[in-house]
Structure 1
Amino acid sequence: MVAPLKVGLAGLGTVGGSVAQLLHRQESNAPESNVLGARCGRPVRLVAVSAKAESEMQALGIPGLRWVASPQALATDPEIDAFVELMGGEGDPAKSAIEAALSSGKPVVTANKALIARHGVALATLAERSGAALNFEAAVGGAIPVVKTLREGFAGNSFDRVYGILNGTCNYILSRMESEKLSFADCLREAQRLGYAEANPTFDVDGHDTAQKIAILASLAFGVQVDPDAVYVEGISSITPEDLAAAAELGYRIKLLGVAVRTESGIEQRVHPTMVRLDSPLAQVMGVTNAVTIDPAGFSPITLVGPGAGGAATASAVVADLADIARGARVRPFARPVADLAGSRRAPMQRHEGGYYIRLLAVDRPGTFATIARHLADEQISLESIVQRRRNGGPHGGDDPDGTQSPAPIILVTYATTEDAVRKALREIKNRGVIAGNPQVIRIEKN
Structure 2
Amino acid sequence: MVDTKDKKLLYPPCWSDDTRMDVLMAPFRLKSVNPENYVSKMLFWQEMITKYCEFKGSPSFNKRELQVAFQRKNKTPYGLDNVLEEMRNLRKIRTRTEYMYDPENSWTGWAINSFVKKPLWWGVKKVWTAGDDDDALLDYIQLEIVKKMCADLAIVLQKHSGKLLHYDEVKAIISDAMNLNDDGLHICLHTLFCQKKVVLEFVVENNERKIHLVKIPGKTDQNPEITETDRAFHNLQMTQKNLTVQLESLETDIKATDDKARQYLKENKRQLAKTYLRKKHLLEKNYEKRSIALNNVETLLSSVDEAQNNGVILETYKIGSKALQKVLNDSGLKYDNVDEIISDVKEAVDSHDEIQDTIASAHLNEKFDDGDLERELREILGEPEQKTAAAAEVVTGGNNNIQNIEVTDEELLAMLEGLEVEHDSPTKSSSDPNANETV
Q: Which has the higher contact order (CA 8 A, sep 6+)?
A: 1
TM norm structure 2: 0.28
Q: Is the strand fraction higher in 1 or 2?
A: 1
TM norm structure 1: 0.28
For the pair shown, the structure with the greater C-alpha radius of gyration is 2
